[in-house]
Amino acid sequence: MAHAVDVGGAHDRRKSPVTIDVLTYDPAHGVGTWWDDETVLRAEVWDAPERTVVISGNRAGLRSLARHLLTLAQDAVPDGRHLDFDTYCGWLEEGSAAIRIEVEKE
């Protein structure tokens, strides 16, 4: 697990609340979510200076990605549940690397 990184006074900076609606996890229906209209999202893997995963997108794409992450972060979502992102789903830009985001309970 990654440890918290002190970004130099981040705890003292003003914070802004952000509200994102998510579908409540339901075992009968599984994990459910949606993408905002006009979503643009891409994932790349850079090999230099060190192997780096780069996720970029417009505001709709980043907001949608946040929704997907928060959907998986719900307490009721079981260990191992995941979301797959690839160019076949139509949300990642052509040429993007596929991504799997998976719940790992502590």
**pLDDT over threshold 60, residue 83:** yes
- The tens digit of pLDDT for each residue in 25-35 reads 999 999 999 99
Digit-coded pLDDT (tens) for 6-21: 666 677 889 999 999 9
Instruction: Assess whether pLDDT exceeds 80 at residue 70.
Output: yes
Residue 52: φ, ψ to 5°:
-135, 135
pTM flag (> 0.75): yes
Distance of CA 9 to the CA centre of its chain: 25
Q: Taking CA 93 as the corner, what is the angle to CA 32 and CA 65, rounded to the nearest 5 degrees?
A: 35
